[in-house]
Copies of this chain bind each other. A is one copy, B any other.
């Protein structure tokens, strides 16, 4: 690789890292002070860049909200969806979904003891319609993977006698709620919590 190419790649990587950093910091600030109560200048200052600098990475505040959600959905794709899709046995796949999604939330908890990115992914009302459709479509695709996994378990006679939709969203609620209560400075390690949630969820969904 030529020096120029290598340098270009370096710049691009730094740009992506910086955007991730902006998304994380902005998510925390928006969760604390609300979307309307957080300005682009304040976010720039918290990240340690100029206001012009932040507009180099992000067009505007509404685009920032979409960037935060895309960042969250990208992480979910990489850490949960891709590894789960590689598993053919539905019980092992379900276990991977629960454990990896729980770990993703707990390991990225903010200093306030919650996960602002996960919380904001649920606040699609502030998005522009095209962006909202995109985020909702990605969420739906994740729910579909869970529904498909539970349907396979039902066909194997392993699922409790419960509705697939109720089961899928009960599972998601249990996991996503971690973003509201888990305190990284508390007694429970991310691994312990992921293990307990996996135990409770599998116990709740599968027949004894």
A interface residue numbers (CB < 8 A to B): 31-37, 122, 125-126, 160-163, 165-167, 169-178, 180-181, 187-188, 192-193, 196-197, 199-205, 208
Please give me the residue from chain B that is nearest to A36 by CB atom: B36
Q: Is the interface of A mostly helix, strand, loop or mixed?
A: helix
Residues of B within 8 A of A171 (CB): 174
Other A-B pairs beyond A34-B125, A162-B200, 4, CB < 8 Å: A166-B197, A174-B177, A203-B208, A204-B205
**B200 and A204 within 8 A (CB):** yes
Of the candidates B32, B166, B176, B188, the one whose C-beta lies within 8 Å of that of A173 is: B176
**B34 and A163 within 8 A (CB):** no
Contact A125-B32, Cβ < 8 Å, known A173-B173, A177-B177, A188-B165: yes
Residues of B within 8 A of A126 (CB): 34
Q: In the bound complex, how far is the Cα of B125 from the Cα of A31, in angstroms?
A: 8
**B174 and A170 within 8 A (CB):** yes
A35, A166, A167, A199, most chain B CB atoms within 10 A: A166
Contact A169-B192, Cβ < 8 Å, known A160-B200, A199-B160, A200-B204: no
Residues of B within 8 A of A122 (CB): 180
Residues of B within 8 A of A204 (CB): 199-205
Nearest-CB distance from A93 to chain B (Å)?
18
Residues of B within 8 A of A162 (CB): 196, 199-200
Please give me the residue from chain B that is nearest to A194 by CB atom: B166
Of the candidates B125, B166, B170, B208, the one whose C-beta lies within 8 Å of that of A208 is: B208
**B166 and A200 within 8 A (CB):** yes
Residues of B within 8 A of A203 (CB): 160, 203-205, 208
